Amino acid sequence: MRTRRPDGGWRIGVIGGSGLYALGMLDDVQTIEVGSPFGQPSGPVTLGRIGDVSFAFLPRHGAGHRISPEAVNYRANIDVLKRCGVTDLLAISAIGSLREELAPGSFVAVDQFIDRTHARPQSFFGEGLVAHVSLADPVCARLSAIAADAAVTAGAVVHRGGCYLAMQGPQFSTRAESRMYRQWGADVIGMTALPEARLAREAELPYALLGMVTDYDSWREGDHVEVSDVLAVMHGNAALARATVAGLAAALPQVRDASPFDRALDGAIMTAPEQRDRQLMAKLDAIAGRVLT
């Protein structure tokens, strides 16, 4: 017989992207500073509840959007959310469209990624403690479906499935790049989902990404991306994003059944116990303590 907590075992982490710097509808709100051995996260974590579901919110770019995409400390962000007891992680991000049918103002529940970033730490692991996790299916289908349903209920136009091209930034694409990414099979483009999704998998956190389309990137003749256009769409969709989070809380099953991603590190550690770096093991107490003890 399964035991049942008041929140059903769920604690949803929400990472807010451009234009979403607070949720604003949480009860029992508490904002806390959480330290990480991987450095400074983007800011304090806001804890609270919607109904019976616990939430932990972190704005990816910090208060006032002070952190550029390539400078976000993705490892610290994931680490502090894990330390806050998060069980599942929903990222809400601004994205550009590489397909005519994915119009600005619509939402995309992303399910695949192509990585074009560089010089960003890609893993919690490394020399002295080597691990390889599967990333064939980088998104949690369960969480993604519930989030997409909640967005539809909130009134959004939602496209289910799409390949996200993660570019380095902070500049937007050239026309040649944008057209090449279309040929590769990418559907949308952004600057922050990687290494975020990789690190979430190493932290054994089921991850979903709901992207809000702000523009058509630069592949269409005459079109190009302007920050003012991105912000206008994001501000217009911020209420929809918050309503989606509230709808997600209402739609979650009363009891959280186990996800296969809860045990993503099973069998992933390659380094023999006697060869493991003790300092790195200590840093990974929240991320990998389950398999390192």
Q: Does 232 score more than 90 pLDDT?
A: no
Q: Does 5 score more than 90 pLDDT?
A: no
Query: What is the arithmetic mean of pLDDT over 194-221?
Result: 96
137 annotated active-site? no
Q: Give the pLDDT confidence of 9-48 residue by residue, as tens digits.
A: 999 999 998 778 888 889 999 999 999 999 999 999 999 9
* pLDDT band for position 168 (cuts 50, 70, 90): very high
**Exactly one of 7, 149, 215, 277 is catalytic; which is it?**
215
**Exactly one of 217, 257, 262, 277 is catalytic; which is it?**
217
Average pLDDT of the chain is 94
With 0-12 / 13-18 / 19 or more C-beta atoms within 10 angstroms meaning exposed / middle / buried, residue 119 is: exposed
Look at domain 11-122+140-255 and name its CATH class: alpha beta
Q: What is the pTM of this model?
A: 0.95
Q: What is the pLDDT of residue 111?
A: 98
The DSSP code for 89 is: E
Report the 10 Å Cβ neighbour count for 284: 23
Q: Does 173 score more than 80 pLDDT?
A: yes
What is each CA distance from 277 to 75, 125, 272, 280, in whole angstroms?
A: 18, 10, 10, 5
The DSSP code for 263 is: G
Q: Does 199 score more than 50 pLDDT?
A: yes
Q: What is the pLDDT of residue 2?
A: 31
Query: What is the arithmetic mean of pLDDT over 96-100?
Result: 97
Residue of 11, 19, 64 lying closest to 42 (CA atoms): 64
* pLDDT band for position 67 (cuts 50, 70, 90): very high
* pLDDT band for position 280 (cuts 50, 70, 90): very high
Q: What is the pLDDT of residue 6?
A: 61
Structure token digits, residue 60:
């990816």
Bridge partners of 107, per DSSP, are 158, 212
Domain layout of the chain by residue ranges: 11-122+140-255
